[in-house]
Chain A
């Protein structure tokens, strides 16, 4: 399959990429291209120009900042899962990242590309929501920072405005006593989530003091924060009874996704099962 003819330019800096995008409203930003190029081959997307940002040095770094970690948008999945600082702080990032695609995909695909694309079955959005991450974007009107909970708005739809690009993801310092995990039921060929659950739970003296649970693949609108599950956990003891009750609250009142892999009813069932597994992991049960 051959994409439609397209011009290609490599941007040397974020400001150059933003200028090129402003001058070419029909252009698309290219990082790893592992979602965009397959979409172009299927002619689902036919931009006039590709602006390659993968080699902009100011976009590829992972650094500790204020006890948390800042990740440049052009960092690959492999950069992230092989980073010692992320390994030591954010289990959910490692467990989610290791389950993205395969070795070859993880060597090229990027965090920024994945979240800007916002596939409703992607893994990173769930992980970022569970960690209360924020996403820095930059455009012709300057830079702004968007909480992950307000970034993913729907089916391949984000809070990015026209002409803006994702520049950085900021993971806040994990709370003392917190643990984060990711559990996924995957489509066996694409390895996208049919259901993925990211959970970050803080336990103090056997009592759950904070819990952020998000699901991906479940809703037709993509990854979301499941507040009912969190509410059913906070203040309770970290026990099997607690997590079972909380997991039963998962994916209620959601516009469920449905495709030839899983019906709405099966997805809802899987959402509860995988929420329970994620909570068991996060609570060390």
Chain B
């Protein structure tokens, strides 16, 4: 079995894993980080989005073995202690969630978007989140949440 070492939310882990183990199952079932969700399980919905070496990826469509050596951030690693990440604040303030199932993936994808483009237009936000599906159809408020976060991040910089 492949042996992997990954740094997840700042903590290094080493495990022997089955070759077929999906990264999302490694995060949820081995590390107990259940904030990353399995939605469609076919790489369409984006609920499983995490950051792999700083880039948003769908962890249901990758093997844990492929992540060997990587630095991973999940939704659990986004806040600094009790201080929410500006995107988490934005989703709270702008009511960017209803049932909340898609939210971790939305936030991780939006974080990648803001890393690349700190001041996106509404259209750029919608395009940036095209790989994430919300079944409560709360897209308008999700866009506002990302705009809220972009404003906060800009004010802080």
Contacts and interface: CB of A to CB of B under 8 A. Distances in A.
Interface of A: 1-8, 10, 30, 33-34, 37-38, 40-41, 50, 52, 54, 78, 101-105, 107-108, 189-191
B148 interface: no
B44 to A, nearest CB: 5
Contact of A8 (B41, B44, B57, B65): B65
B41 A37 contact: no
Contact of B61 (A5, A34, A52, A191): A34
B19 A5 contact: yes
B43 A3 contact: no
B61 A101 contact: no
Given A34-B61, A41-B41, A107 B19 contact: no
A104 B46 contact: yes
A102 B130 contact: yes
27 contacts: A1-B41, A4-B20, A5-B18, A5-B19, A6-B20, A7-B19, A10-B65, A30-B66, A33-B61, A34-B43, A37-B61, A38-B61, A40-B20, A41-B22, A41-B42, A50-B19, A50-B63, A52-B65, A101-B43, A102-B130, A103-B56, A103-B113, A104-B49, A107-B57, A108-B57, A108-B61, A191-B130
> Could you say which of B2, B52, B66, B113 has the most chain A C-beta atoms within 10 Å of its C-beta?
B66
A52 B19 CA distance: 11
A10 B61 CA distance: 17
Interface of B: 2, 18-20, 22, 25, 41-44, 46, 49, 52, 55-58, 61-63, 65-66, 68, 109, 112-113, 128, 130-132
Contacts of A34: 43, 61
Nearest to B58: A104
Contact of B19 (A6, A38, A105): A6
A104 B19 contact: no
Contacts of A41: 22, 41-42
Contact of B131 (A5, A10, A105): A105
A37 B112 contact: no
Contacts of A103: 56, 109, 112-113, 128, 130-131
Contacts of A52: 65-66
A10 to B, nearest CB: 8
A112 B130 CA distance: 24
A102 B2 CA distance: 29
A108 B62 contact: yes
A8 B58 contact: no
Contacts of A78: 55
B41 A107 contact: no
Contacts of A30: 63, 66
Contacts of B46: 102, 104
A78 B41 CA distance: 22
